[in-house]
A and B are shown apart, each in its own frame.
Chain A
Amino acid sequence: MIFKLAWRNIWRNKRRTAITLTSIMMAVFLSNFLISLNDGIFGNMLDNMTRSFLGHVQVHQNGYWDDQTLDNAFEADDALVETMKSADHVVAVTPRIQSFGLASFENQTRASQVVGVDPEKEKQLMDLERHLHEGRSITKDDKGILVGHKLASFLKAEVGDTLVIIGQGYHGISAAGKYEIVGLLKLPSPDLNRNLIVLPLGLAQYLFSAENMLTGYTLVVDDTDRPEKATASIIPKVDTALYEVMIWPELLPEMVQLRTTKVAGSFIYIGILYLIAGFGIFATILMMMAERSYEFGIMLSVGMARGKLIAMMVLETLLITVLGILAGTAVSYPILYYMKVNPVPLTGNAIESYETMGIEPLMMTSTDMSIFIDNGMFLFVISCVIALYPVLKIWKMNPVESMHK
């Protein structure tokens, strides 16, 4: 009966309820949209970085990450590889050697990130074949190299041209070599497209005079959001005096920080939206209470317990909110899902500003359920606070005075 009364009461003034529902729905829709967009863009960026290059976990010689020089390289260790492969949640382990160098073609030179990889093992991470923009991929014993397409464009080099790489090798030995560009890479990260040069592992080790040396192992794990589940299994099995085991949030702290800052910024807008929706609900409850004063007096007079009357009003408040949340979610989910599957490419100056930050210039959304649940729960809590008003009013209500008002 309480539910039936509450349900019918909220439809007594259909227009007012519709306005309230619309304000809640819009608040839910816009806050879902804002968070989803933030989450989508940064999630995509982090995902691109981790899935296509960085990996979810990296193992280096202790101290390498703080001082990324080849002097902190270590000897490839098959036993370590087997240990990591056998750890829980680890899907793949790939060896790499990487350093920085100057890439030159004709009159153009640019500082670049030079990475030596095992093309076969990289299929589970960088997947060179899939990201090939032009030309062909490389094999383990190849003498050719792959270059980020924007780097090639800057150098005005094409497939078939020969690139000169100059840098510093292991223990200060000078590193220099001429390599044919056999393919151009187009990776999801603008940074990598501008800077990356990929060599077969053996060729890179030769360039850096670091035979059988690596700067690290890059790992792919099954739960990308919780890489610590894998490291919890790896750390007890490796000599942490020799090796550092790092998860991707430690490898990309500035990106994680940027994401946190952006999300925190959007909370200001979301807060304003919630405030508007909250006032909408409160105004409705205020009017419902005022215009039904006589009716509440009658109900208390005929013997309805205050607790039941309070339950009815709280239910009315929560029903309006829940309906608004459901409507907002029902409207926002399909749109956000569509934008997730079909990200909108940015145009004009936005492309450059996004790429400067290392973000793919796409308006991409996320449909992580936590976005909808968190938003819904937050508004529900606001509604619970608003429901305190009818609770207090009814608790102190005098039936005779109510009927006189």
Chain B
Amino acid sequence: MSAVIKTNNLQKYYNPGESLEVRALDGVTLEIERGEFTAIVGPSGSGKTTLLNIIGGLDHETAGTATIGDTTITALSDNELIDFRLNNIGFVFQAYNLIPVLTAQENVEFIMLLQNKSKEERQRRTAELLKEVGLGDKMNSRPMEMSGGQQQRVAVARALASKPQFVLADEPTANLDSQSTSDLLDIMAELNQKENVTFLFSTHDQRVIDRARRVITLEDGKIISDEKR
């Protein structure tokens, strides 16, 4: 097994050196192997989202390094990070993930269009992915014509469209009902097992935690437990 994500003594301080200094991450060191299905849990303010943002190249660390594959992303510029994210990381956010004016098909194609993939490849892969997430019949629906669960499934399809090294999901079930949560987790677990896609979640949701095969718990910016199942 090779590490897809490595962080070494990752620190993120807000207002460093001041009386109101906040240590969102305080020396986080971890490795995520290819094919893992990992949940990062912890109370609000424990640093889950900050960790995901830095690993996803969306935020900058105060100290330490984050490496994705062979690339130390903490050394990349903002513009290099945009390009890196496009080709290496899939994102699923809490809600309102999709571009409202595009159909499900166009939302998934959008990423590949940014990657300059050919039309044939885009169409073929989009059809495959939407079928995999069970939305083969919703290709031409716009986000507002779909339920929250369906929108999140499209977001998963979009996250996979670029063939990323891993998918980061920040509280993906936060706004979903039980059935939609269960469906979404089934799909992600299936993709993880069948296609060896690496998933890294931040979550409060016990249903997600129960399905994860590794659970990393953060508190006050530090890893307090790392449980593999």
Contacts and interface: CB of A to CB of B under 8 A. Distances in A.
Interface of A: 1, 4-5, 8-9, 12, 294-295, 298-306, 308, 399-400, 403
Given A303-B162, A305-B82, A403-B93, A295 B99 contact: yes
Interface of A is mostly: helix
B174 interface: no
B42 interface: no
B146 interface: no
A305 B79 CA distance: 8
A309 to B, nearest CB: 10
B87 interface: yes
- The size bracket of the interface on B is 20 to 34
Interface string B46-83: 00000001001011000000000000000000010011
Given A303-B85, A303-B87, A305-B82, A8 B111 contact: no
Contact of A5 (B87, B102, B111, B162): B102
B99 A12 contact: no
A294 B58 contact: no
Given A400-B58, A403-B93, A303 B114 contact: yes
A303 B96 contact: no
Interface in B79-129: 79, 82-83, 85-87, 91, 93, 96-97, 99-102, 106, 110-111, 113-114
B102 A8 contact: yes
A303 B82 contact: yes
Residue among B79, B87, B114 with the highest chain A CB neighbour number at 10 A: B114
Given A301-B91, A303-B114, A12 B86 contact: no
Contact of B82 (A9, A298, A304): A304
Contacts of A306: 79, 82
A303 B58 CA distance: 10
B30 to A, nearest CB: 20
B158 to A, nearest CB: 7
Nearest to B90: A302
A5 B96 CA distance: 17
B101 A5 contact: yes
29 contacts: A1-B110, A1-B113, A4-B106, A5-B99, A5-B101, A8-B102, A12-B100, A12-B101, A295-B99, A298-B91, A298-B93, A301-B56, A301-B58, A301-B85, A301-B93, A302-B85, A302-B111, A303-B82, A303-B85, A303-B87, A303-B111, A304-B82, A304-B114, A305-B83, A306-B82, A308-B114, A399-B58, A400-B58, A400-B59
Nearest to A300: B82
Contacts of B100: 12, 295
A328 B113 CA distance: 36
Given A294-B96, A298-B96, A305 B101 contact: no
Nearest to A8: B101
Contacts of A304: 82, 86, 114
A302 B59 contact: no
A4 B111 CA distance: 15
Contacts of B82: 300, 303-306
A295 B91 CA distance: 13
* The 10 nearest A-B residue pairs measured at CB: A303-B86, A8-B101, A303-B85, A400-B58, A1-B113, A400-B59, A399-B58, A301-B91, A400-B53, A302-B91
Of A1, A299, A303, A308, most B-chain CB atoms within 10 Å: A303
A294 B99 CA distance: 10
A12 B142 CA distance: 12
A300 B82 CA distance: 7
Contacts of A399: 58
A399 B54 CA distance: 12
A303 B83 contact: yes
B155 to A, nearest CB: 9
